Amino acid sequence: MPEKSMSLIDLKEGQKGVIISVSGGYGVTQRLTDMGLTPGTEFEMLRKSRLCPVEISVRGCKLAIGCGVAAKILVKVKK
């Protein structure tokens, strides 16, 4: 059975996930993948509050991502 996919923004603080895909315009997709958010990449949700953006850790870097973009990143939770 395929695992349930969700938006990056739905992850809780401290949860780890794997990127499934990135959607959005050409520029945004390019930028996100350039920063290392390619499909299959593991990441950790470091900080999330009522206010945007979210902070994640990916490939040894800390990234801040605006909510609009984060909502377009499809992920699954890593157990």
Partner 1 sequence: MKNKITIALAGNANVGKSVIFNQLTGLHQHIGNWPGKTVERAEGTLHHGGYTIDVIDLPGIYSLSTFSMEELVSREYIAKEKPDVVINVIDATTLERNLFFTLQLLELERPMVIALNQMDLVKKSGISIDIERLQKFLGVPVVPVIATQGTGVHELVDESIKLAKKGYKKPKKIKYGKEIENEIEKLVKSLGKIELGYPKRFIAIKLLEGDEEIKKMIESIDPKIVKVGEKSAEKIECMHGHARPTILACERYKVANDIVKECVVFETTKVTLSDRLHEITIHGIWGYLILISLVVLLFYLIFNFGNFFSDILINEFMGMTPAFEKIFGMGVASKLVWGVIEGLVAGITIILPYILPFYIILGLLEDSGYLSRVAFLMDNFMHKIGLHGKAFIPLMLGYGCNVPACLGCRIMETQRERLIAIFVTTLIPCAAVTTVILGLVGKYIGLTWALLLYVVDLMIVFILSRIAFKVLPGEPTELIMEMNPYRIPHFKTVAKQAWFRIKDFIYIAFPLIIACSFLIKVLDVTNLSESIESLMKPITVDWLGLPLFSGIALIAGIPRKELTLITLATHGGTTNFAAILAPVQMIVFSLVTMLYIPCIATIAALVKEIGWKKALFITVFEIVFAIFVGGIAFRLLTI
Residues near partner 1 (CB under 8 A):
21-22, 25-36, 38-41, 47, 49, 51-53, 55, 59-69
Q: Please state the closest distance from residue 16 (CB atom) to partner 1, in A.
A: 15
Q: Please state the closest distance from residue 13 (CB atom) to partner 1, in A.
A: 12
Q: Which residues share a beta bridge with 55?
A: 47, 64
Query: Closest CB to partner 1 among 2 and 25?
Result: 25
Peptide bond into 39 cis (omega under 30): no
